[in-house]
Amino acid sequence: MTNTPATIDTLYSINTPEGIALKLAPAGPVLRFYAWFIDSLIRGTVMFAMLWALSFFDRAGTGVFLILAFLIEWFYPVYFEIFHQGKTPGKSMFGLYVAQENASPVTPVSSLIRNLLRFVDFMPFCYGFGLICLLSNSRFQRIGDIVAGTVVLHQDTEHRVSEETTIAPVVPPVPLQLNEQQALISFYQRRPMLSEERADELAKLSGPLVGDRAAAADYLSGIGRWIIGKR
C-alpha cells in the first residue's frame, strides 16, 4: 500500500476560458492583519489631520469631519481596490491584492459589498466573526469575501507579471497544443521569480519556437501574456 503525501500549501486552481489551469495562493490571516494595520494607520493619520484642521470651525467643522471620516473609513479600500489593481497601500506593501475568485480583477460591486460587510465581520468585537470564518475555509475568505465572491491573493505567487510590464503580448506564430499553452502560461507566471539568465536558459529549451532570438524569455513571456488574454 502506498501513502499519498499530504500538501501543506493552500493553492487552488481555476481554469481560464482557454482551458488553462492557473494556481492561486490565498493570503493567510497574518499578512492580512499586517496589511490592515498599515491601512488603519494611514486612515487614522489622515483623520487626525482633518480633525485638527477642522477643529477651528467649531460645530460646522465637526459635522464636516464626521462626513469625511465616514467616507474614508468605508470607501478608502474600495477606491484602492478598484483603481489600483486590488491593492490598498497596506496590501501593496506585503504583496497582496484583492481579486475575484476566478482571478479576474475585482469589480466595483464586489469591492463595495466586501467592504460594507466589514461591520458583520467585526462583530461581536475585533473582527471575531471574520477571523473565525477566515480560518474555517481553505481560501481564507471572511464573510464579506464569501458574499462578494472575492479572495485576497499573494501577488508574488499568482500575479503574472505586473500590468506596468514592458513585455508586449505576442501572437503565437504557430497553433499551440493545450499542453504547450499550459507550459507557456506557467513560464509567464514564474518569470518574475527567475533571474534573467535562468529565464533565458529555460526559454531556449523550447527549441524552434524561439530559434536564435536574443530575448527568448521576453518572447515566450509575450506569448504567454497573449494566451492568458492580456492583449
Residue 43's pLDDT is 95
Question: Which residues lie closer than 8 Å to 93 by C-beta, 6 or more apart?
Answer: 35, 38
Listing DSSP states for 176-205 in one string gives --HHHHHHHHHHHHHGGGS-HHHHHHHHGG
Residue 195's pLDDT is 65
Digit-coded pLDDT (tens) for 78-128: 999 998 888 999 999 988 999 888 877 888 999 999 999 998 888 887 788
pLDDT at 141 over 90: yes
**pTM of the complete model beyond 0.75:** no
Q: What is the mean pLDDT of residues 49-67?
A: 90
**Other residues' Cβ atoms within 10 Å of the Cβ of residue 100:** 16
Name the average pLDDT for the chain: 81
Q: Please, are residues 41 and 122 in contact by the beta-carbon 8 Å criterion?
A: no
Residue 33, SS3 per DSSP = helix
Residue 161's pLDDT is 43
Which residue is it, cell 529549451? 205
Residue 164's pLDDT is 42
Sign of the CA dihedral with 199 first, then 200, 202, and 208 last: positive
Q: How sure is the predictor about 59, in pLDDT bands with cuts at 50, 70 and 90?
A: confident
DSSP secondary-structure letter at 23? E
Listing DSSP states for 78-117 in one string gives HHHHHHTTT--HHHHHTTEEEEETTSSBPPHHHHHHHHHT
Residue 98's pLDDT is 93
DSSP secondary-structure letter at 9? S
Q: Please, are residues 14 and 77 in contact by the beta-carbon 8 Å criterion?
A: no
Q: 38 or 18: whose pLDDT is higher?
A: 38
DSSP secondary-structure letter at 26? B
Range with the poorest average pLDDT among 11-15, 51-55, 104-108, 191-195: 191-195
- What percentage of the chain has pLDDT greater than the value 70? 85
Digit-coded pLDDT (tens) for 150-188: 999 887 544 444 444 567 888 888 888 888 887 888 787
Q: Please, are residues 75 and 68 in contact by the beta-carbon 8 Å criterion?
A: no
Which residue is it, cell 500549501? 9
Name the residue type at position 196.
E
Residue 16's pLDDT is 57
CA distance 33 to 93: 12
pLDDT at 207 over 70: yes
